[in-house]
Structure 1
Amino acid sequence: MIILTTLNNMGIPVEGWHILAGLAILAVITEIYVIGSQLLARRNKTLAPMAFYWIPWVGSSIPYGIDPYEFFEDCRNRYGDVFSFYMLGRVMTVSLGTKGHEFVFNSKLADVSAEEAYTHLTTPVFGTGVIYDCPNSRLMEQKKFCKGALTRDAFRSYVPKIVEEVTNFFAVNFEGKTGKADVMTTQPQMTIFTASRCLLGDEIRSKLNGDFAKLYSDLDNGFTPINFVFPNLPLPSYRKRDLAQQKIRDTYMSVIQRRRMEKDVQDRDLIDALLKNHTYKDGKRMTPQEIAHLLIGVLMGGQHTSASTSAWMLLRLGLDPAIQDELYQEQVDILGEADGSFRQPTYEDILTMTKLQNTIKETLRLHMPIHSIFRQVMRDLPVPGTSFVVPKGHFVMASPGYSQQAERYFPNAKKFDPRRWMTPTEKMAESETDAEAGETVDYGFGAISKGVSSPYLPFGGGRHRCIGEQFANCQLTTLMSCYIQNFKWTVPEGSKLPAVDTTSMITLPVHPSYIVWSKRERN
């Protein structure tokens, strides 16, 4: 009676009280079920320990989404290197460290599937019939088709194109002697301009202005956590994503069809390479639409890595002028002329920029573009060295980005120190040789190292290792060489390193993130 009187005084009628009581009972029953099911699951010693959670379906999504590495570290301290967590209706079994890399990246194709894990996210962005929207054997052949645009001869032709694009960008966007730039505006633009010029040619690059460039931004917005869980919703961002995909695809297809009709197929770019070589081993050919979709996938995949890495590198160097000075002296030593100017670099030149290469390597160590890599389990999968079995339908997850920030592999791991790569420790040295030593395997696109036991794997490993690794290195080294030759920069006074944008599936700095630049005075 006291409760009823109180509720009536609050203006809540008896009928409303019954609804509230029902909801409260439902909440209690739900929590009892959630907690009870977790306690029962812990009695099953074949399952990896589950990180405790309170909210059904959501599980541990919030702490994982806020800071995945901190979440992993907390779980590792509680449960060890192998544990599970519940994320948006999915059970993710994490295996940390180098053993985790071996487990996830080198599991048999019959046991785990990247296609089942990622297709609902990538297919609306890239398009049908390519990347993860096709059998793995097809993807391996698609990688092979692309290799013609990723050779040393191709890289030699790319370096002057990147220099020209970056120089033109500076002329328009860095006017005057000093200024302020948002790296989350400049770096995605510079990356897409240089990558499209090199990989897709002058014809496509000429269209990347104004409204057409905005389409790439709309398409890029398809890579967010909500898109991973709900690939199709009646939201404005989804409509923009789909419209952008259609317009970019149609533009690529018009170029493909024109070159075919006019028999204008040479050796200029990736479009020519795919027009020459797009027949699978079974005799089936990629359609013009699938070629267009693959072009979108290649460009978008590389865009994330280079945009993120160059943005973080500018911010890191803005906090450390001494390293900037060392990098500038390296540019003088390699490219400097007697009159104080710099000659145009060659591909061979950028390979000798050891300090700059080490700075890129250190940036990738602390800011791996993708923090978690996972596969869907296709049949019950034992975890080597444990009594755990991951059930069919669950997911396995590795995190090289976590290992790259772990003290057990990298002393003083949180410090940005490119010099560490000059005299790597024994465990770090493994990462230097892992890609070159040991057994190799050819998944259809060329021999690569089968070993993935290194703690440093910024481009992944195994059959899904990024084939654009060498292009990214060429692009980043050339782009940053131009920055170092032309500017000094800092972060705004009182600023510190920006936080990671948790709304993105890529480890980008929050937008905006500024540097304050001044042009270098030439002798």
Structure 2
Amino acid sequence: MELFSSTVLIILGCVALFLFLQRKNSHRPPCVKGWIPWIGVSFEFGVAPLEFIEKTRIKYGPIFTLIVMGNRMTFVTEEEGVNVFLKSKELNFELAVQNPIYHTASIPKNVFFTLHEKLFILMKGKLGNSNLPQFAEQLTEQLHEQLKSLGTHGTMDLNNLVRNLLYPSTTNILFGNGLFPVNKRKIQEFHEHFQVYDDSFEYGSQVPEHFLSHGLTIFISFKQTLIQILLDAIETETSEQNCPKYMLLMLWAALSNVVPATFWTLAFVLSHPDIYQTIMEGISSVFGTAGKDKIKVSEDELKKLPLIKWCVLESIRLSGPGILARKVMKPVKILNYTVPSGDLLMLSPFWLHRNPKFFPEPESFKPERWEKANLEKLAFLDYFLAFGNGKYQCPGRWFALLEVQVCVILLLYKYDCSLLDPVPKQVCIFRITNIIIIFKFDINPNPLVLITRDDQIDVPT
């Protein structure tokens, strides 16, 4: 009888605990678990992520949790949840990205935690707005050198054109003149290796050893640029073997985002004849007749061409992929729900930038909307999150914007450009980088750009 009573008490205790947990969890956001434990809704989500999120939002409301590859990912899609994401002190950026950093750059978690804030502050200072004048001069010289190789007229794949201009220019400025190869075979190898790494980044692949040994270890001894202070900081806090890993990660960050931003800016501008004409009139008024001289682009001259910066930002708004993630350290309340500690709180700039409440006519290319932004005081439009937010907002955002502007100005000044094919559709691909989701837009091999300023020899296609 005593054994029976004990058994009954244990059962009743388990039932009470279960009911307590059910009641406690009832205040959590609706959770979509899928049919397979740990895998969750990974397959359905992966096939068409944006459509899946939209259907889930319609069914469950503006906040919900998905089980994806063993992770609880709580998505916020409306204003209140967005504001919690942006302002709550109970969310942590570093804990959300530590695993992807390890899986994509082989940087150990303890090293990442030791160095992240220090390197971020250094990068923010060196790539900050106060240093843009010197970068504008360097970018102009570097891009002029790359433009020489294009010849006078011909056709070229727009994405390849942008990569051929910005890969060497960015690398030489940030990592030192002479680092980027000049031999055609070596240049091709660099493009191939970097493209493989960039394409596989969303899969969370480890740093390819052949990439590190194929010239990137030169970062350890190449210290004559602003990157020197970063290398010194890395070597002071950790072993020298981590230097090329960090440099590769920084190289990826510098190249993988500015190339698509420049591609989409040119594609959108050239596909809107009225905007293209207005830009060309502005360029001529500042620099004179297009194509005649080797112009220099300064900060003062950029301020006279605000439409170009607006076009860059509007292109980034429309094409900026990705998911921002934060680890929930302590439970946070959103609407009538409590998001538990351990969840990843997820926010997509793609959805946010298409919310008509924040961006009227969200699918339209309307650079004039950026006239309302206080760019002089380094402020974007509200709810524009292409560069992240908060304490760890992208430290190189102003340098990246400068790169795109200078590249667009020099290309349009020197060449008469037009698209031979329609602007490609932004095709969204879903990838899981361990615990971080990244949306990456395919850049179709088209459109082509027609270069015809002077009618002389053709450049190779």
When normalised by structure 1's length, the TM-score is 0.71
RMSD of equivalent CA atoms: 3.4
Does the 8 Å contact 1:68/1:371 carry over to 2? no
C-alpha distance 72-491 of structure 1, shift in aligned 2 (>3 A): farther
Q: SS where residue 66 of structure 2 aligns?
A: strand
Q: 2:424 aligns with which of 464, 479, 497?
A: 497
Residue 357 (structure 1) aligned with residue 309 (structure 2): yes
User: Residues 156-204 of structure 1, C-alpha deviation per residue, up to 9 Å, x if partnerless?
Assistant: 23223323333333333x4452313141x33344332222111111032
1:180–1:516 Cα contact (<8 Å) kept = yes
CA deviations over 1:61-100 (Å, ceiling 9, x no partner): 3454455444433333322221112222322101124443
Structure 1 62/332 Cα, relative in aligned 2: closer, same or farther at 3 Å?
farther
Aligned 8 A contact 1:317 1:490 in 2: no
Q: Alpha-carbon deviations, 1:417-463, whole Å to 9, x = none? A: 112223x4xxxx5x869965xxxxxxxxxxxxxxx993112111112
- Kindly indicate whether the alpha-carbon contact (under 8 Å) linking 1:315 and 1:515 is maintained by their aligned counterparts in 2: no
CA displacement at 1:152 relative to structure 2:
4.9
Paired residue secondary structure (2:140): helix
Q: 1:242 to 1:373 in 2, by over 3 A?
A: farther
Instruction: Describe the SS at the equivalent of 1:91.
Output: strand
Counterpart of 1:389, as a letter, is V
TM-superposed CA distance for 1:486, in Å, is 2.5
* Cα contact 2:139–2:403 (8 A) shared by 1: yes
1:214 aligns with 2:192: yes
* Structure 1 equivalent of residue 60 of structure 2: 79
Segment of structure 1 superposing worse, 500-509 or 158-167 = 500-509
Q: Which amino acid aligns with 1:274?
A: L
Q: Structure 1: any 5+ residue segments left out of the alignment? A: 1-39, 233-237, 257-267, 437-451
Is residue 2:179 matched to residue 1:223? no
Partner SS, residue 516 of structure 1: strand
1:297-337 superposed Cα distances (whole Å, 9 cap, x missing partner)? 22211222211111122222232222111111111122225
2:352 matches 1:403: yes
Partner residue, 1:161: 138
What SS class does the counterpart of residue 467 from structure 1 fall into?
coil
1-structure distance, mates of 2:295, 2:67: 55
8 Å contact kept, 1:324–1:484: no
> Given the superposition, is the C-alpha separation of residues 105 and 165 from structure 1 closer, same or farther in structure 2, using an over 3 Å criterion?
same
Please state if 1:89 is matched with 2:70. Answer: yes
Which deviates more, 48-57 or 396-405? Answer: 48-57
User: In the alignment, residue 96 of structure 1 is paired with which amino acid?
Assistant: T
Q: Please say if 1:243 is aligned against 2:225.
A: no
**Rounded Cα–Cα distance in structure 1 between residues aligned with 2:200 and 2:209:** 9
| DSSP-derived class of the 1:376 partner | strand
- Provide, for residues 123-163 of structure 1, a one-character-per-residue CA deviation record: whole Å limited to 9, x for no partner: 3443425xx66454631111123345324564323223323
- Cα distance in 1 for partners of 2:212, 2:41 equals 32
Among 402, 415, 430, the residue aligned to 2:364: 415
Conserved 8 A contact 2:262-2:408: yes
Q: 2:175 aligns with which of 200, 206, 221?
A: 200
Aligned counterparts of 2:104 and 2:213: Cα–Cα separation in 1: 10
Percentage of identical aligned residues: 18
Gaps of 5+ in 2: 1-20, 432-437, 456-461
Alignment of 1:35-434 (within 5 A): 44-51=25-32, 53-54=34-35, 57-62=38-43, 64-108=45-89, 111-128=90-107, 134=111, 136=113, 138-152=115-129, 154-172=131-149, 174-183=150-159, 185-206=160-181, 209-224=187-202, 226-227=203-204, 231=205, 241-256=208-223, 268-274=224-230, 278=233, 285-336=237-288, 341=293, 343-368=295-320, 370-378=321-329, 380-392=330-342, 394-422=343-371, 424=372
Which residue of structure 2 lines up, in the alignment, with residue 448 of structure 1? Answer: none
1:360 Cα deviation (Å)?
0.5
Range moving further from structure 2, 66-75 or 190-199:
66-75
Contact persistence 2:212–2:244 (CA under 8 A)? no
Does the 8 Å CA contact 1:126/1:294 hold for their aligned counterparts?
yes
In structure 1, C-alpha distance between the alignment counterparts of 2:125 and 2:96, rounded to whole Å? 29
Query: Does the 8 A contact of 1:400 with 1:458 survive in 2?
Result: yes
Q: Which one-letter code corresponds to 1:408 in the other structure? A: K
| Structure 2 CA distance for partners of 1:499 and 1:279, relative to 1, 3 Å | closer
- Does structure 2 conserve the Cα–Cα contact (< 8 Å) formed by 1:304 and 1:506? no
Could you tell me which amino acid in structure 2 is paired with residue 387 of structure 1? Y
**Counterpart of 1:278 in structure 2: which amino acid?**
A
Contact 1:98/1:455 (CA < 8 Å) preserved in 2? Answer: no
1:33-70 deviation per Cα after TM superposition (whole angstroms, max 9, x unaligned): xxxxxxx9899422211347455544433454455444
Q: 1:320 to 1:521 in 2, by over 3 A?
A: farther
Deviation at 1:246, TM superposition (A): 4.4
TM-score (norm 2): 0.80
Task: State the SS of the aligned residue for 1:410.
Answer: coil
SS at match of 1:221: helix
1:446-461 matched pairs, under 5 angstroms: 454-461=382-389
1:508 matched to 2:441? yes
Q: Tell me the matched-pair count.
A: 426
What secondary structure, in the 3-state scheme, does the structure 2 residue paired with 1:204 have?
coil
Whole-angstrom distance in 1 between the partners of 2:68 and 2:338: 19
**Does 2:454 match 1:475?**
no
Taking a change above 3 Å as real, the CA distance of residues 339 and 407 of structure 1, as seen in their structure-2 partners, is closer
The structure whose RCO (Cα within 8 Å, separation 6+) is larger is: 2
